[in-house]
Amino acid sequence: MAESRSVKMDAPAKKYRGKKLKVAIIGCGGIAQAHLEAYKRIPEVEIVAGVDILPERLQVMEEKWGLPKKALFTDWKEMLKKIKPDAVDVCTPNGVHCAPVVDACNAGCHAMVEKPMAMNPAECEKMIAAAKKNNVKLAVGFQQRYNPQTTALINAREQGQFGKIMFVKCQALRRRGIPNWGVFGQKKLQGGGPMIDIGVHILECAYEFMGAPKPIAASGNVWTYFGNKPSKTRSGWPGWDYKTYTVEDLAIGQIRFDNGAILQIESSFVAHIKQNDVFNFTAMGEKGGCSWEGAEIYCDQNDLMVNMTPVFISTTDGWSDLFREKLQNWVNGCLKGTPLGAPGEAGLAVQKMLDGIYRSAEAGKEVTIK
């Protein structure tokens, strides 16, 4: 039985003030800059404030994005009180996702939060409850579900191309790609390493492709063998802070669903593999299979085994268009009450699977996902 998608019928948008959605950015680092570039292509949005604990990031908000000093804050609570935005876009480290979202919702603001939604399912539930209580929209920054490859395969699944999906294998692997900026190597601020940082993306779009069945159990393991040591090996991202590195280098997990399907996932910052970057999922169904990369479909036709490769998928321009798509969907939900592509409930479902893999690694056995 597929998990309920009643979240698509989210609460209607609150009465809107003004001609544009007034958005405050909480966390003005690298990912926020990608969001701001996307907002330039969304005319319904006006950026009205920036919040960050680092002065240099607030300086960027002033000099590059034209915000006055009175719109720059180090405390989101002060910003909510003085600016009273319509919505907030939370781009902080994972450990600082829950609190600003809950405070913003309680102040009557819609909220977009970057992936993963939070540090654990309990935090996700607090965020969802706050949004529901205050009748505001809460969306999670899962841009890969808007990827044309994802939507093409979802359409094929909905048309019965694959029949019952039995097995999905996900990979988000880097041969050598430990982030040398931010706090990606600090578990207390991020919740984990590659599984929660990049594995979350392929897990989320594969799960959406499957039709969001109910996860019931998880097993997995994590290993740290490289990132917490100095290295002279040449790579594109050298010089990470190995002294504060407390996350895994490699994580492997398996999820069982109530419909009998199994999903396996591999994710790494460091793995001794041929390619530098692997990002893909493959699926096997009773009537057909597929590969996310290239939206290829494998099936039988006219008594032949056939591989189908699209000649054309889309004109989207990579990350830039995906960020615009996810933010436009949220903005439309805030202004028009239209369904969210990735509401808070979708973030919670993914968080339960991530949490299950990490709990299993710690316990050394399969664990239940409630």
Same domain (yes/no): 300, 205: yes
Same domain (yes/no): 158, 301: yes
Distance, in Å, from the CA atom of 334 to the CA atom of 254, rounded to the nearest integer, reads: 36
Would residue 360 count as lying in a domain?
A: no
Same domain (yes/no): 113, 173: no
pLDDT of the residue at 19: 77
Would residue 364 count as lying in a domain?
A: no
Please provide the distance, in angstroms rounded to a whole number, between the alpha carbons at the two ends of the chain: 15
Q: Tell me which of 297, 315, 333 is where a domain ends.
A: 315
pLDDT of the residue at 319: 74
Helix (H) or strand (E) holding 113: strand 110-114
Same domain (yes/no): 135, 161: no
Task: Give the burial string for 108-142 (b: 16+ CB within 10 Å, else e).
Answer: ebbbbbbbbbbbbbebbbbbbebbeebebbbbbbb
Would residue 353 count as lying in a domain?
A: no
pLDDT of the residue at 17: 52
Would residue 357 count as lying in a domain?
A: no
In total, how many domains does the chain have?
A: 2
Same domain (yes/no): 154, 230: yes
Same domain (yes/no): 137, 156: no
pLDDT of the residue at 317: 67
Would residue 83 count as lying in a domain?
A: yes
CATH for 87: 3.40.50.720
Nearest CA to 201 out of 156, 150, 162, 131 is that of 150
pLDDT of the residue at 318: 72
Same domain (yes/no): 40, 125: yes
- Partners of 298 in the β-ladder: 289, 307
- Partners of 90 in the β-ladder: 26, 113
Would residue 91 count as lying in a domain?
A: yes
CATH for 304: 3.30.360.10
In terms of DSSP H, where are the helices of 187-261?
A: 187-190, 194, 200-210
pLDDT of the residue at 3: 38
Q: Pull the structure tokens for residue 131.
A: 């949004």
Give the distance from CA 315 to its chain's centroid: 22
Same domain (yes/no): 16, 123: yes
> Residue 195: phi, psi to the nearest 5?
-60, -45
Same domain (yes/no): 184, 301: yes
pLDDT in tens, the chain (370 residues): 343 333 333 444 455 555 799 999 999 999 999 999 999 999 999 999 999 999 999 999 999 999 999 999 999 999 999 999 999 999 999 999 999 999 999 999 999 999 999 999 999 999 999 999 999 999 999 999 999 999 999 999 999 999 999 999 999 999 999 999 999 999 999 999 999 999 999 999 999 999 999 999 999 999 999 999 999 999 999 999 999 999 999 999 999 999 999 999 999 999 999 999 999 999 999 999 999 999 999 999 999 999 999 999 886 667 789 999 999 999 999 999 999 999 999 999 999 999 999 999 999 999 999 9
Cis bond leading into 116, ω under 30°?
Answer: yes
Same domain (yes/no): 81, 109: yes
Domain range for 251: 148-315
Q: Pull the structure tokens for residue 151.
A: 């939507």
Would residue 152 count as lying in a domain?
A: yes
Same domain (yes/no): 211, 128: no
Same domain (yes/no): 199, 112: no
Distance, in Å, from the CA atom of 195 to the CA atom of 201, rounded to the nearest integer, reads: 9
In the sheet that 262-268 helps form, which strands lie side by side, from edge to edge? 304-308, 296-301, 288-291, 277-285, 165-174, 262-268, 250-257, 215-223, 367-368
Would residue 15 count as lying in a domain?
A: yes
